Structure 1
Amino acid sequence: MLEEVLRCLDPRPGETFLDATVGYGGHAEPIAARLGEKGRLIGIDLDSEALSATRKAAKEWPCRTEFEHAGYDEMPDVLDRLGIGKVDGLLADLGVSSPQLDRPERGFSFQGDGPLDMRMDPEGYPTAAEWLAAAEEREIRRALWEFGEEKRAAAIAKALVRERRKRPIDTTGDLTRIVLSCFPDRDRAGRVHPATRTYQALRIVVNHELERLERLLSFLPDRLGPGGRVVILAYHSLEDRLVKRAFQEWSGKSDPVLSRIPIRGEIPGRAIILTPKALRPSPAEVARNPRSRSARLRAAKRTSLA
């Protein structure tokens, strides 16, 4: 959804932007082109390998660039280290990148067989295999239910605990095989692979994704300058719900007191919502990139109110 991202962010010459999930620079490069020679782009990411590749590519970009190995929830510390109070624009693409999915050794996908890792930061957090080995059955069940919205959470959790007593669950092949054993009626599972929700839940747990997103949303308005734009791309309802609720709070539309008062017109808030409904990829884009089908884009613009 590059076109929609650029339209909502509207990067202008001389501005300062932060790509909070810079990855391999797919969004950052066209943003940098619009910022021009007097602009400044800060890129942060947990994936040190992707960061290294983008740092090299950015030598050809026109604007000033700086890159930090950090998560988007560490944005205030990064900006403070660089002496930046506020930015003019911020992008957070919360999805797993294609290079991460396509490499079996990263352990994000059930399409291949590799180590059951799933860490965005290969240098941090326990792996998915380590978490599964230590978690109690009720913890696994709760994670699958809450973070994967998996209806067969209880059966899958029981199967995982039963199988790990026999031997460690160390590979994506192991995990996929166990999950599929809980779907004897796989033909009724629909288009979505039966293991999709389990993989989503474990990835969220391993990387503390929702906690980190909540931290980002809590301090984001304070680090956007007046008129600053923010775009967040979410890929499942749990993320999107948090983003939607935060944007509503910033705009003043969800104030528990003001919402009960019959006031005509708009109540000014700290931000203006630019996307009343989440933007979705076009059919043409989904045809080109099937992995984009679940993307939901929301954007907001900072007002001058404190």
Structure 2
Amino acid sequence: MTDRPQHEPVLLRRVLDLFDPAIADRDAVLVDATLGLGGHTDALLSAYPRLTVVGLDRDPNALALSRDRLSRHGDRAHLVHTVYDGLPDALSDLGLSRVDGVLFDLGVSSMQLDVADRGFAYARDAPLDMRMDQTTGLTAADVLNTYTAGDLTRVLRDYGEERFASRIARAVITERDREPFTTSARLVELLYAAVPAAGRRTGGHPAKRTFQALRIEVNAELDVLRRAIPAALTALRVGGRIVVEAYQSLEDRIVKRALAELATSTTPPGLPVELPGHGPQVRLLTRGAEVADDQEIEHNPRAQSVRLRAAERIREAS
């Protein structure tokens, strides 16, 4: 890792292909709800000269870097400092009621992983921050130093799917009474000691699940996502498309359910015809979740865990 942010857009060609029918050869508007360092947006604006992108990000540092990167596209890029469930307000402020596409590239961004002092990575010692927006909210250190054993267990179990959640929580309580947690190295050391040797042989690094759980808790990622996906689907015009890249099962499950709900008819079973206004609102564009091939994973290791889902709006809500 380096202190210089890097970004390689995941499944870029597939993302462009999925959006193409909705935005090609027309004046179109697309929301990049997780702008990051702007890799997907830069490629979209370059490929579609009549496209305008509204880029959302909660991280002021990412917005500043993206603004420089996207400046060559002029007023076709509108960048907004907001969490992605703020999509409706962002569009309203720009006088937009419907859009042609929405992209979510979920999880921690390349910049947040690569810049050591953000505290997202467990591979090197850093302050336990993990806030995507460092101007507000609790840090990971605050969670570790103030949550009860029960709340810590819940966070690690529900957000990290950690089998040893209660054991880790008890160890954290014991250690913080001796000295509060401030940096990641001490937490990683505790996790090596708390996770049994047999448990360390599978599932990757013993800190992986705990760091994921703390990041999700600090940034309320799943709660935000549960609000953001329906809001994005509501904003789509008929013929508009949503593409979501998720990197862990908790996110992907939320996306899958939200899309499946609108892709299902609400006509009562047994009726011979579809009731007006009860048909599916979206058409699924992927069969299950698509994954990266071996070639992309070799070129961009962060693509290894991606799960891509997409849908097209086929009618307005009743």
- 1:268 aligned to 279, 299, 316, which one? 279
Distance 1:187 1:85 in 2: 50
Superposed displacement of residue 262, structure 1: 7.6
Distance 2:210 2:272 in 1: 45
- 2:159 aligned to 134, 147, 157, which one? 147
Distance 1:54 1:8 in 2: 23
- 1:303 aligned to 291, 309, 314, which one? 314
Give the structure 2 partner of residue 283 of structure 1.
294
- 1:215 aligned to 211, 227, 232, which one? 227
Using the size of structure 2 for normalisation, the TM-score is 0.90
In structure 2, do the counterparts of structure 1 residues 209 and 61 end up closer, same or farther at CA, with 3 Å as the change threshold?
A: same
Distance 2:52 2:200 in 1: 51
Give the structure 2 partner of residue 33 of structure 1.
46
Say whether 1:157 aligns with 2:173: no
Contact 1:186 1:194 in 2 (8 A): no
Q: 1:259-278 deviations in whole A, cap 9, x for unaligned?
A: x448699x831111101210
Q: Name the SS of the counterpart of 2:233 in structure 1.
A: helix
Give the structure 1 partner of residue 17 of structure 2.
7
Give the structure 1 partner of residue 77 of structure 2.
65
Bigger shift: residues 76-85 or 172-181: 172-181
Q: Name the SS of the counterpart of 2:137 in structure 1.
A: coil
Distance 2:218 2:270 in 1: 43
Give the structure 1 partner of residue 239 of structure 2.
227
Paired residues for 1:71-110 under 5 Å: 71-110=83-122
Aligned length: 301
Distance 1:300 1:7 in 2: 13
Superposed displacement of residue 190, structure 1: 2.4
Unaligned ranges ≥5, structure 1: none
Distance 1:187 1:137 in 2: 21
Superposed displacement of residue 186, structure 1: 5.8
Distance 2:88 2:109 in 1: 24
Contact 1:116 1:128 in 2 (8 A): yes
In structure 2, do the counterparts of structure 1 residues 263 and 288 end up closer, same or farther at CA, with 3 Å as the change threshold?
A: farther
Superposed displacement of residue 174, structure 1: 1.4
Say whether 1:130 aligns with 2:142: yes
Using the size of structure 1 for normalisation, the TM-score is 0.93
Unaligned ranges ≥5, structure 2: 1-10
Say whether 1:183 aligns with 2:198: no
Superposed displacement of residue 187, structure 1: 7.7
Distance 1:103 1:305 in 2: 43
Contact 2:36 2:111 in 1 (8 A): no
Give the structure 2 partner of residue 116 of structure 1.
128
Q: Name the SS of the counterpart of 2:78 in structure 1.
A: strand
Superposed displacement of residue 6, structure 1: 1.1
Please give the root-mean-square deviation of Cα atoms over the aligned residues, in Å: 1.8
Q: 1:144-189 deviations in whole A, cap 9, x for unaligned?
A: 1111110010110111111000001111111111111112416852
Identity fraction in percent: 39
Distance 2:207 2:270 in 1: 47
Paired residues for 1:243-254 under 5 Å: 243-252=255-264
Q: Name the SS of the counterpart of 1:294 in structure 2.
A: coil
Distance 2:173 2:199 in 1: 25
Given residue 192 of structure 1, which amino acid in structure 2 is its aligned partner? G
Give the structure 2 partner of residue 16 of structure 1.
29
Distance 2:249 2:200 in 1: 22
Q: Name the SS of the counterpart of 1:119 in structure 2.
A: coil
Distance 1:202 1:102 in 2: 18
Query: 4+ residue runs of structure 1 moved beyond 6 angstroms?
Result: 262-265
Distance 1:161 1:212 in 2: 28
